[in-house]
Structure 1
Amino acid sequence: MTTARGPAALAEPTEPVGRGWTAALSLANGAVWVGWFGPLQILLASQAGDFAPGSGMTKETMLAWVTGVGAVVSLVANPFFGALSDRTTARRGRRTPWIVAGAAGGALSLLLLADAGGPWTMTLGWCLVQLTLNAAFAAVTAAVPDRVPRRQRGTVGGWLGAAQILGVVGGTGLATAAGGVRAGYAACAVCTVAGVLPYVLGYGDPRLAKEDRPGWSWRSFLSGFWLSPRRFPDLGWAWLTRFLINLGNSLVLLYLLYYLRDGLHRPDPGRGVLILTAVNSLTLVATVVVGGVWSDRVGRRKPFVVWSGVLMAVATAALAVRQTWPATVVAAAVLGVGFGVFTSVDFALMTDVLPTALDRGKDLGVINVANALPQVAAPALAAPIVTHLGGYRVLYLVAAATGLAGAVLVGRIRGTD
């Protein structure tokens, strides 16, 4: 186990990280995504289908409300816990205590969600899952700029992205194969805790000396969450790019189970979701590390983000034009290629535009709002589109236009190539 003290916590890293450190952090990242996507892809939709009759809401509307409220919690929790980790002076470092607390709390919250008896307890349970797992995710993400030099961040981001997708597939697979909602939640909870142990037990974080900790006041703490786009324009454009591309992707994924059931009339839509997730994940994993390594070698980020966003928009538009099962499988594969490159290179791009070393966790948490906010916006946009404004065809056209706008705006970032 390695630890660093004092100024090393705030220094720009120069020593490359090893494969063991990268593998352990990637596994921890994947474990968090298991805890998120087992519920999000399968279990919450199943519970909404069970609770909707007699509630006065359709299953689509109930799922939209639950995921939307949970996303609001995520939107606040990620930068909040990132800021707390920035100020943590524990012996094990700034990030590790929050990874431990977040993973343990996430597992308990998943077990609580498994026993939900109605829409209100389901909403409460999902909010607790979002709160706790975001504490772990904020710390995992901030460990990269803490420890990884700029020339290696595309590669490390690629492995984190690969782990993320394996977590999505693993969570979906556990939820599908477990044999029921309760068993699915229990399996995801166990996997979430087990996945963070190698990093927690094997590696320490740079320790922040107490004299380096900034002065505390609620006013300064809360005001620090506002990162002015006028003062930090590159950060602002990078944030908007991530938001739009993730919003387009969220619009595609949100009602996937219902699209297969009600739009394509698949006899086993849950299995269909698993197949599409697997296809998407295979192509994503095939490109996520390659894209990150390639961007490190050429020393450029923006072209990779632009063309990955364009590719995803084209695939989504094609899905809107031809709504068949084979076309859906092809679209899932192409989306995986685009999102794979985007995931690794966009992460490296974000770490390149961070304003200060002291606030890495908080600033990355603010940037990660661009991941959570689409989960709020997507249900608000998708529900009326599907039910009143043209159905799934219009939904996918809107998703394609949104993602394309994000790809175009990458060109506004000036401080990095």
Structure 2
Amino acid sequence: MPDTKAQAKQTAPFLYLYALAAAGGAVAYVPFLTILLPLRVTEFAGQDALAVLSYTTFAGAIAASIANIGFGWLSDITKTRRPWIGAGLVLSSCLLLLVPFASSPPLLIALIICWQIALNMMLGPLSAWAGDVVPDAQKGMLGGLLAFAPALGALSGAFITFKGLATADERLYWVAVLMLLMVGPLLLFGKPIKMPQLLVDRPKEVMAKNADNSARMAVWRMWSARLMVQIAEASLFAFLLMWFRSLDPQFDENKVANIFAFVLSIAVVFAILIGRWSDRVDRPIVPLVSCAATAALGLALMALAPTLPMAIAGYVTFGIASSIFLALHSSQTLRVLPRASRRGRDMGIFNLTNTVPSLIMPGLTLALVPRYGFDLLFLLLAVLAMLASLLLFKMPERPASSAV
């Protein structure tokens, strides 16, 4: 009898094209939300920049949360992912080019809401597509490749902010072009091997049998742990430039982009190696536990750092560990979703761990930073990251049998 497990492998070309497309999604928002948007807000908001940026992030996160679930669900209902990804790609690119025309906070917030909706028309179905065609035996490898997404997003930020390359408005055109070049090849040339076994819901009687407390707890441990790490990630994602400038007013946006690029590039190498290791030994949870604990250590160093070099070292530690965690978690999440027919919707619900922190983070930052500075904020985030590690420490290594 043939070894069906050995045969159930997705092709390397598709995995690489998928990873490139996921990176294109990151290029769409990483340089924009971390560098270009804060700079634009600072231009017309002045001393109110922190508040305006917080409100803009808040509104955009709500739109992204709803859109990701909605378009993921629509791609479930229509039983196709590719057309939704293509439509979102085109619409989000066009909306990005309208940003220079938003000259006031209300206009900017409205535009960001529309842009987030269009972007998640692409991202929601894209995340679910991996679950349709990548088997569990390659989830670690997939997670490692997904680490390229934030890395290339950061590299694109370093590229478009290179002095003399482009004006503020031209940088947005560069972002749109790069996104099209990275997502387009998957839509045009991506031909995955069909995996019909991944498109079938588990039998109801099996789901009912497995829906015990420990299985349900595995799902919520995964969701909650990612939420805690993402709260820390989101806080630095939006305010890293401001934090570095609070330590050194001469610290410019290109230096921040270069640090992002360095951290995430190193994370790619380790994520691929660790992902392959987790596939080989069938231990998908151990790397998540270790990375969350290391991220907590990095945040503690940031809070206690007396000098800029030590602060950068703390961020590098946090950035590498959290990037590996988030990349591997993204692929391992697919193990805990029991209904293939609602995979897009369920991935959208898990995506709330990416967007809800953007709802929590502005209020948290505004409550702590003006009065106590960034140090107390980083200590609180370190506690959350350590709690994430502890949550996963007691989780079964094979959560695939869990049910929501």
Larger helix fraction of residues? 2
TM-score (norm: length of structure 2): 0.88
The answer (yes or no) to whether the contact 2:23–2:152 under 8 Å persists in 1 is: yes
Structure 1's unaligned 5+ residue stretches are 1-11, 215-226
Q: Does 1:20 align with 2:13?
A: yes
TM-score (norm: length of structure 1): 0.85
* Shift in Å, 1:204: 4.5
User: Where does residue 321 of structure 1 map in the other structure?
Assistant: 304
Write the deviation string for residues 57-85 of structure 1: whole angstroms up to 9, x where unpaired.
62111111111110111111111111111
User: Where does residue 41 of structure 1 map in the other structure?
Assistant: 34
The answer (yes or no) to whether the contact 1:305–1:346 under 8 Å persists in 2 is: yes
- 3-state SS of 1:232 partner: helix
38-47 or 279-288, which deviates more: 279-288
* Shift in Å, 1:207: 9.1
1:333 counterpart letter in structure 2: V
Structure 2's unaligned 5+ residue stretches are 202-210, 400-404
2:37 counterpart letter in structure 1: L
Which residue of the other structure, out of 354, 374, 378, is the alignment partner of 2:357? 374
Distance (whole Å) between structure 1 residues aligned to residue 259 and residue 45 of structure 2: 26
Distance (whole Å) between structure 1 residues aligned to residue 101 and residue 389 of structure 2: 42
Distance of aligned partners of 1:398 and 1:205 in 2 relative to their CA distance in 1, 3 Å threshold:
same
The answer (yes or no) to whether the contact 1:98–1:139 under 8 Å persists in 2 is: yes
- 3-state SS of 1:355 partner: coil
1:29 counterpart letter in structure 2: A
Distance (whole Å) between structure 1 residues aligned to residue 88 and residue 101 of structure 2: 20
Distance of aligned partners of 1:167 and 1:144 in 2 relative to their CA distance in 1, 3 Å threshold:
same
Which residue of the other structure, out of 112, 117, 128, is the alignment partner of 2:103? 117
Distance of aligned partners of 1:14 and 1:111 in 2 relative to their CA distance in 1, 3 Å threshold:
farther
Q: Does 1:100 align with 2:86?
A: yes
User: Where does residue 31 of structure 1 map in the other structure?
Assistant: 24
Which residue of the other structure, out of 293, 308, 311, is the alignment partner of 2:291? 308
Which residue of the other structure, out of 55, 58, 64, is the alignment partner of 1:65? 55
157-166 or 147-156, which deviates more: 157-166
The answer (yes or no) to whether the contact 2:133–2:195 under 8 Å persists in 1 is: no
User: Where does residue 138 of structure 2 map in the other structure?
Assistant: 152
- 3-state SS of 1:87 partner: helix
User: Where does residue 197 of structure 1 map in the other structure?
Assistant: 184
* Shift in Å, 1:272: 2.5
* Shift in Å, 1:231: 8.3
User: Where does residue 66 of structure 2 map in the other structure?
Assistant: 76
Distance of aligned partners of 1:98 and 1:13 in 2 relative to their CA distance in 1, 3 Å threshold:
farther
User: Where does residue 221 of structure 1 map in the other structure?
Assistant: none
- 3-state SS of 2:78 partner: coil
- 3-state SS of 2:166 partner: coil
The percentage of aligned residue pairs carrying the same residue is 25
Distance (whole Å) between structure 1 residues aligned to residue 135 and residue 194 of structure 2: 18
The answer (yes or no) to whether the contact 1:310–1:407 under 8 Å persists in 2 is: yes
Write the deviation string for residues 68-119 of structure 1: whole angstroms up to 9, x where unpaired.
1101111111111111111114xxxx11111101111110110112321111
The answer (yes or no) to whether the contact 2:143–2:332 under 8 Å persists in 1 is: no
- 3-state SS of 1:255 partner: helix
* Shift in Å, 1:228: 12
Q: Does 1:237 align with 2:224?
A: no
Write the deviation string for residues 131-176 of structure 1: whole angstroms up to 9, x where unpaired.
1111211122111110011010110121022233212331453245
Total equivalences in the alignment: 383
1:184 counterpart letter in structure 2: R
The answer (yes or no) to whether the contact 1:266–1:272 under 8 Å persists in 2 is: no
Distance of aligned partners of 1:208 and 1:344 in 2 relative to their CA distance in 1, 3 Å threshold:
closer
* Shift in Å, 1:253: 2.8
Distance of aligned partners of 1:274 and 1:300 in 2 relative to their CA distance in 1, 3 Å threshold:
same
Cα root mean square deviation, aligned: 2.6
